[in-house]
A and B are shown apart, each in its own frame.
Chain A
Amino acid sequence: SAVISQKPSRDICQRGTSLTIQCQVDSQVTMMFWYRQQPGQSLTLIATANQGSEATYESGFVIDKFPISRPNLTFSTLTVSNMSPEDSSIYLCSVEEAGTQHFGDGTRLSIL
């Protein structure tokens, strides 16, 4: 299956700042997704990253807060903007391959 690398693996940030998370895949994939896992919770889909067009956001998530780039079929970024302590979560990217979704190890983000 595809190997998914996320950077950074963890970070501690100050409130009001922004952080960009990178997701690199070792093969070309059509579908890439970004999820959030709040502490002690399940995963919630933020958006589908579309190659060459704007991301498709789920209800409750907006582009101004979570801008996403997808410049090619192997790479995507998620930015968490103007962070507050409520944004402290694990952010995971996933890719679809042969009908199944595989996840990176996630980025553990803490906002002080």
Chain B
Amino acid sequence: GEDVEQSLFLSVREGDSSVINCTYTDSSSTYLYWYKQEPGAGLQLLTYIFSNMDMKQDQRLTVLLNKKDKHLSLRIADTQTGDSAIYFCAESIRATNKLIFGTGTLLAVQP
């Protein structure tokens, strides 16, 4: 079955790096995504990685994919208070295009 797991909570100090982890079970994923949800808002697509890539960097964001271990991570460099939000990883299931979302990680950035 399809299952995507994340740790529930991460607290960091402003200026530090944050690493949010995600594990998934479906090996047929085509894309893996990171979304950000601020309080009272919808989902904002932050970045994504194709399943045949190992790493993708986009400004302060670095995505690492270990396909063998089915492990995805999002690193946020120089974390700011504006990064405080819930972060969801999601995998896209081949041939259906539907997304399976992780449980979400609440990132709290302390000033």
Contacts and interface: CB of A to CB of B under 8 A. Distances in A.
B99 A45 contact: yes
A7 B104 CA distance: 25
Contacts, number: 52
B42 A92 contact: yes
B77 interface: no
B41 interface: yes
B98 A43 contact: no
Interface residues of B, number: 23
B88 A99 contact: no
Contact of A101 (B33, B40, B104): B33
Nearest to A93: B42
Nearest to A101: B99
12 contacts: A31-B97, A42-B104, A43-B88, A43-B90, A44-B101, A45-B99, A48-B98, A100-B31, A101-B33, A103-B43, A106-B41, A106-B42
Interface of B: 30-31, 33, 35, 40-45, 48, 88, 90, 92, 96-104
Q: Closest 3 A-B residue pairs measured CB to CB?
A: A105-B42, A103-B43, A43-B101
